[in-house]
Amino acid sequence: MKYLSTIALVLAGLALFGQDRDTLDIPVVVVRSTPIRDTLKNIPAAVNILNKIQLSQNDETILTPILNQIPGVYMQQGALNTNRITIRGIGARSQYATDRVRAYLDGIPLSSADGTTILEDVDMSVLESVEVIKGPVSSIYGAGLGGVINLYTPEKLSGLKISTGTTLGSFGLAKTSLNTTYGGEKTSFLVGYNRLQSDGFRENSAYDRRSLTFKINHRFNEKNELNFLTNLTRLQAFIPSSINETNLINNPGMADGNWGRAEGYQSYDRMLTGLSFTHRFSDRFRNTTSIFSQIMDAYEPRPFNILEEDTWNIGTRSVFNYDFAVFGRVSELAFGTECIREYYDGGTIENRYQDFPGQGSVEGVRLTRQEQIRDNLNIFLQQRVNATDRIAVEAGVNFNSTGYSLNTIYDIDGADQSGEYRFDPILSPRLGITYKISQLKTLYATVSNGFSVPGDD
C-alpha cells in the first residue's frame, strides 16, 4: 500500500475594499463532506466548494474546466471518456481513470473497492455543488491518499420545476437534458435524463453517453428521514489513442494506426444506487446509515486484446454524531464505519482485427479469466473541541483492513495467481487546529496520514 503524511499551514482570509464591515452580509458556507459539519472557515483542511453558479459557467458537458480552476487540482482530458484527476500530484495512475482519489455522490461511493474513480458518468445538470478536500483524508474516508471529491444533488427543493437544455457544438457535439424536480412538505424528488453525443475531432473518437438520475427524499417526522438515489449510465466511447509528434503536426485528426484499424472503444452499462436513513435520537445525538451498491458490465476492445469485466459491489456507511461538553466547552464526536465487498469477474480475449481488415475488432481465443473478491473495512472516529473562544482542536483516526481473494479460472500462459491476500491493518491519524484571528480570518494547521489500496502498478 502507498502512504503519505502531510503537514499544512494556511492563512485563510477575505480582503475587503471600500465596504463597511458592519453592513456586510456574508453567506454562511457549510461543508457537508466532513463527518462534523461546520462553516468553511472553521474546517482545518484545504476545502474548495463549487456552487451551482460556478458549475454552470461552461457548457456543462464535463467537469474538466471547472475542476481545473481549483488550485492543486488538475484534470487531464484526452477524450470525453479518458479523464484522470490529480490532487496535489496524486491520482492519475490508472490508464483511463483516476486512482488514489475518492469520490462520492450524495454520500454514495463512486470509487470502486480497488480505488478506481470515474466522475464523468454523473451529469453536471443534476448537481448543485462540488466539494473537494485536498490532501490525505484517510481518517475520514479510508483510502484517500490524494483527497476526496464529493458531488451533491440539490438538498432543498420547492414546488414543481421542469427544465430542459440543449447544447450544440463543433464536431457533432450535442447534449440534451430534461430535469424535473419537486419539493413538498414531506416529500421531494429529482428526475434527470441526459444524452451527450460527439463525433469527435479525431478519427475513431465518437462518443455516446446516456444517463438517468433519480432521487427521492421523504421526511417522516422531525426525527426520521429517508433518501433514495440511483444513477444509470450507458456508454460507448471510441478511443483514438496517442500519436507521435510528426503525425500531430501534419495530421492531428488521425487516430493511432492500430487503434483505428481495431476500431477500439470502451463501453459499459453502470448502475449506482443507495438508500440512506437518518434518525435523530435527540437534539444532540443522530445517525445516518446508508446501504449502497454498484454494478458494471464493461466491454473494451483494444489492439492488444479485448477486455471483458463484470463488477458488483455492496456496502454500507454509518455515521453517528454526538454533541456534548468537555470542561464546559462545546464539543462534537463523530464515529462510524464504511465497508465494501466487491465481486469481480474479468478476462481478456484475443483480438484478431489484423486478420479481418475493415471489420474492426474480432474475437479470437480466450486468453485469461480471473475472479476476485475485494473486501475493504474502515472504522473511523473524529472529535472537535472548542478549546477557547478562538482555538478549536480536531483529532481523528481511521482503522483500515483490506483483503483480496483471487481465483485464476484460465490463463493461456499457465500463470496462476489464485490465493488469499490480506494486508496489514493501517491506522491513519489526523490532527487539525484552527485559530480565529477575526470574524473573517482563520489560521489553521493540519497533520495527517494517508494510504491507497493495492493497484495494478
Count Cα neighbours of 335 within 13 Å in the Cβ-side half-sphere: 8
| 457 falls within a domain | no
Which one, of 47, 29, 44, lies nearest residue 386 by Cα? Answer: 44
Rounded-to-integer distance, Cα 135 and Cα 139, Å: 11
Strand 363-386 with 329-351, pairing: antiparallel
Indicate whether 20 pLDDT > 50.
no
Indicate whether 115 pLDDT > 50.
yes
Q: Which distant-in-sequence residues (6+ apart) come within 8 Å of 450 by Cβ?
A: 3, 4, 5, 6, 135, 136, 137, 138, 144, 145, 146, 428
Position of cell 458549475?
55
Concatenate the DSSP letters of all residues of 383-394 into one string.
EEEE-SSSEEEE
Q: Which residues constitute the domain of residue 118?
A: 2-452
Rounded-to-integer distance, Cα 452 and Cα 457, Å: 12
Bridge partners, 215 (sequence order): 190, 229
291 and 277 Cβ atoms separated by less than 8 Å: no
Q: Which distant-in-sequence residues (6+ apart) come within 8 Å of 84 by Cβ?
A: 75, 76, 91, 92, 94, 96, 97, 98
| 192 falls within a domain | yes
Task: Give the chain's largest Cα–Cα span.
Answer: 78
Map residue 245 onto helix, strand or coil.
helix
Q: What percentage of the chain carries pLDDT values higher than 90?
A: 56
Rounded-to-integer distance, Cα 365 and Cα 236, Å: 24
Q: How far is CA 317 from the centre of its chain?
A: 15
Confidence class for position 13, pLDDT limits 50, 70, 90 = very low
Give tens-digit pLDDT for 390-431: 999 999 999 999 999 999 999 998 888 899 998 889 898 999
Indicate whether 11 pLDDT > 70.
no
What's at 190, amino acid-wise?
L
User: How much is the pLDDT for 95?
Assistant: 57
Concatenate the DSSP letters of all residues of 377-422 into one string.
EEEEEEEEEE-SSSEEEEEEEEEEEEEEEEEEEEETT-----EEEE
Rounded-to-integer distance, Cα 388 and Cα 225, Å: 35
Grid cell listed for 126 = 443534476
| 9 falls within a domain | yes
Q: What percentage of the chain carries pLDDT values higher than 70?
A: 91
Name the domain count of the chain. 1
| 127 falls within a domain | yes
Angle at 329 between CA 445 and CA 288, to 5 degrees: 75
Give tens-digit pLDDT for 430-440: 999 999 998 88
Question: Residue 227: which CATH number?
Answer: 2.40.170.20
| 414 falls within a domain | yes
Q: What is the DSSP letter of 42?
A: G
Report pTM.
0.86
Bridge partners, 313 (sequence order): 294, 342
Which one, of 387, 157, 122, 434, lies nearest residue 272 by Cα? Answer: 122
User: How much is the pLDDT for 63?
Assistant: 81
Strand 187-198 with 98-99, pairing: unpaired
Mean pLDDT of 198-221: 94
CA distances from 380 to 145, 203, 229 (A): 16, 48, 24
